[in-house]
Structure 1
Amino acid sequence: MTAVPAFANCHSHAFHRALRGRVTGADSFWSWRDQMYALAGVLDPDLLFELARATYCEMNLAGIRSVGEFHYVHHQPNGRPYDEPNAMGEALIAAAREADIRITLLDTCYLAAGFGKAPEGVQRRFTDGTADAWATRVESLASKYAGEDDVVIGSAIHSVRAVPRDQLATVAAAMSDAPLHVHVSEQPAENAECIAATGMTPVALLAEAGVWTPRTTAVHATHLTTDDVVMLGTAHSYVCFCPTTEAELADGIGPSVALRDAGARLTLGSDSNTVIDMFAEARAVEMHERLSTGIRGAWTADQLWLAATTTGHESLGFVVPDTIEIADTIRTAGAEELLWAATAADVEGDPTDIADLLESAIDACWDRV
């Protein structure tokens, strides 16, 4: 066996795991989202626990020891809070603990269906009504888990579409020492709507609210202007690329090299969990750059290992945990070069019962849909 640092998965929506292989015919991100919303509408704390536990077990088997769970399905289907207001978040924390994986629960503020649009349909499950109400709920959860070694409560802005301009600063100010993550510029339509509504790009609008700091992670950051790149780099923010999801959803290829050179710090995530393999995510950053530019070698193995491990754990509020072991059947010139050759299947571990857990949870989801 070859010992390497354990991975950090910095952007996950655990319940999306049930979508794997079921909505590949959707013609765009927006039609895919309709299918995802249908799934979000049937979840309850027990079902979310079962699905997340199976998904986190799969992550553990793939060598992931920390996960950033971008969590926004907070309330009952009618929008009313559960008797325990953080019941859904608690289900995710319990699932991670059973799977023996550390979790940063990125409790997400989601207040609108778009610029000037009230939440509708399943989105009523996502909203607390105001940023102040969201902050009250999530700060209560954070106080409960303060000092725990395996749980960090962080915050998230779902997107500039989902949090009105006048409430962004409230989210940015809440829990000012915890990780703060935000979806940004994943789709050209998001940029166009933001510019039409505010005259600013999403990155600039978030900068106005004080979002970009060294504790902040911009997730996706795919369609950026030159000024956007400079803002993220100057703030020394993290930027989380999720290449397998960005490819599966036809999002595009983000400017990873420009962001790195500007001063931003790369991390990686599995996002929709279409693939749970951090080797694949790391390699894809370089491979997508090769496809985009026609030049090899923009990212070294050492740089990508750092993104997938140390930098990733730090962005979630954790230090690097123990190492994982890679099977000797992967023959390379050295440990660094494993990144170009290995897959999650080469991580030493016991897959017993994971298939049964996944089958049971996913079947239960689709029986309800």
Structure 2
Amino acid sequence: MTRWLAEYAWLPDHAEPTPDVLIEAEAGRVTAVTPLVGGGAAPAGVEVLGDAVRLPGLTLPGLANAHSHAFHRALRGRTHGGRGDFWSWRDVMYDVAARLDPDSYLALARAAYAEMALAGITCVGEFHYLHHGPEGRPYADPNAMSAALVEAAAHAGIRLTLLDTAYLTASVDGAELVGTQRRFGDGDALRWVERVDAFRPENDHARLGAAIHSVRAVPAEQLATVAGWADRNGVPLHVHLSEQPAENDACRAVHGCTPTRLLADHGVLGPHTTAVHATHPTSADVALLGDSRTGVCLCPTTERDLADGIGPARRMAEAGSPLSLGSDSHAVVDLFEEARAVELDERLRTRRRGHFSPAELFTAATVAGHAALGWGDAGRLSVGDRADLVTVRLDSARTAGVPPVGAFFAATAADVTHVVVDGRTVVADGRHRTVDVPTELRHAIQDVTA
């Protein structure tokens, strides 16, 4: 058994953190959560042993990064030299994608996932479409790139939901994949199913999910094939949705409806589906997402980096869509920044304050994100759930004098000091226990950008 004594801990269904909490775990699961009387004195029947690990600051359940493209980490700081938009950024992204192979992908993803661990992320959803070799030729193992990601997450010490992504066409009108895009494609949805069915992660830390890249990348008549595979296997399904106005316009031109309506008509929406971005939905789209209880993953730091726009987060939440968070292109890896940006961007959009409470932002960063990735037993400090703990300093230059409830408006990833995943310490005193993160990032990025 392992015990931790948290100065403050944010417990389920609490509007703010609780002081002096003893957390116990065994075999990777929380076995007891005991708020102590003020000053650290134990109530009757509870013994605080001397071997309990003291956690000064605020302890949270593990943070969930519900949307990642690991290889995009190599683009940070390299796409800001001039004007442009999402589409010009995408060309630079393709240049990096063209250079990766299973070995270099493993090195880059290992370093990127270890950076996430340093930021308090205990689970990541990898939206994975870089499947094949140059010119689209499959590797001897058609899932070699998938296996590299599973291994990378194991090395970094975090859990992974591999969202294997169907990416079949270049545009809504069905244009063929060309250039680097050929590495993404399986030909059609049935061949995508055949490849995905042949891969099963062998590690307990990884699970398989599915993704539709977008309505640009999967023909309408094949959407149900991908969604049906996810439903039969009981796994989460994710999809990029209305990230750009151009996507909406193209969908209307070809199909006479919005992307959300098209997905609804083909059985894609539902409580096990997460729409990523949903930056430009119509009012009718918001209602379709909410009525079907389709989740929405917001990625504010990427959405602003790519000049995508600001989505109607509050309206989508009120309509019934659970909100989660992702770092997407990894322009920033900081779930605290993603969380507060949900509120702050809404202020910019509406010119009013006070849209999301700290508890709502906490939920989006923790339990909602884990649920979106198929880990319903994570994201809470409660008995029976996974023993994931993230401790944040309350005495740094950023957090000194800040009440614990204000952490999501003050802290950054740099304030994370201690990270436990499934009961195992991955980060201690702000350092990853097995990965030299800056060095490995530098080398891995040099290998694919030099």
- TM-score normalised by the chain length of structure 1: 0.97
Letter in 1 for 2:122: R
Question: Equivalent residue for 1:346?
Answer: 415
Q: Tell me the CA shift for residue 353 of structure 1.
A: 1.6
Distance in structure 1 (CA, Å) of the matches to 2:269 and 2:394: 42
The structure 1 residue matched to 2:211, chosen from 138, 147, 156, is 156
Letter in 2 for 1:220: H
**CA–CA separation in structure 1 for the residues paired with 2:414 and 2:117:** 12
Distance 2:226 2:406 in 1: 41
1:335 to 404, 409, 413: 404
Distance in 2, Cα, partners of 1:88 & 1:171:
20
- Aligned: 1:46 with 2:103: yes
8 Å Cα contact 2:394/2:404 also seen in 1: no
Please list the CA deviations of residues 262-307 of structure 1 after superposition, one character each: whole Å capped at 9, or x if unmatched.
0000000000000000000000000001111111110010000000
Among 329, 332, 336, the residue aligned to 1:279: 336
Matches within 5 A, 1:173-322: 173-176=228-231, 177-318=234-375, 319-320=377-378, 321=386, 322=388
Give the SS at the match of 2:170: coil
Q: Which amino acid aligns with 1:112?
A: T
Alpha-carbon contact 2:394-2:402 (below 8 Å) kept = no
- Deviation, 1:150, is 1.2
Which of 166, 170, 189 pairs up with 2:225?
Answer: 170
| Partner of residue 159, structure 2 | 102
Q: 1:23 aligns with which of 59, 74, 79?
A: 79
* Distance (Å, rounded) in 1 between the aligned partners of 2:198 and 2:64: 26
Greater Rg over alpha carbons, structure:
2
SS of 1:174 mapped into structure 2? helix
Matched positions, count:
364
SS in 1 for 2:230: coil
Deviation, structure 1 residue 7: 0.5
Alignment partners' CA distance in 1, 2:213 and 2:406: 36
How far, CA to CA, are the matches of 2:164 and 2:174 in structure 1?
23
Which string of whole-angstrom CA distances, capped at 9 and with x for unpartnered residues, describes residues 161-187 of structure 1?
000011011001003110100000000
How far is the alpha carbon of 1:139 from its aligned partner? Answer: 1.9
Asked if structure 2 preserves the Cα contact closer than 8 Å seen for 1:49 and 1:94, the reply is: yes
1:57-78 superposed Cα distances (whole Å, 9 cap, x missing partner): 0000000000000000100112
* 1:74 aligned partner: 131
More strand by share: 2
Quick check: 1:130 aligned with 2:196? no
Query: CA RMSD for the aligned pairs?
Result: 1.1
- What are the ranges of 5 or more consecutive residues in structure 2 without an aligned counterpart? 1-55, 379-385, 418-429
Using the aligned pairs only, state the percent identity: 54
Confirm whether residue 4 of structure 1 aligns to residue 4 of structure 2: no
- Partners of 2:230 and 2:245 lie apart in 1 by 31
List structure 1 segments (4+ residues) > 2 angstroms apart after TM superposition.
Answer: 330-336
| CA offsets 1:312-362 (integer angstroms, 9 cap, x no match) | 011101122411111131235543211111000000020572110000000
The match for 1:119 is: 177
Q: Which has the higher helix share?
A: 1
Shift of residue 26, structure 1, vs aligned partner: 4.6
Kindly indicate whether the alpha-carbon contact (under 8 Å) linking 1:48 and 1:91 is maintained by their aligned counterparts in 2. Answer: yes
Give me the whole-angstrom Cα distance separating, in 2, the residues matched to 1:297 and 1:332: 21
**Take 2:178 and 2:70, find their aligned partners in 1: how far apart are those partners?**
23
- Cα shift at 1:153: 0.3
- Distance, in Å, in 2 between the alignment partners of 1:132 and 1:75 is 16
Q: Distance in 1 between the 2:394 and 2:337 partners?
A: 19
TM superposition score normalised by structure 2: 0.79
C-alpha distance in 2 between matches for 1:180 and 1:68: 11
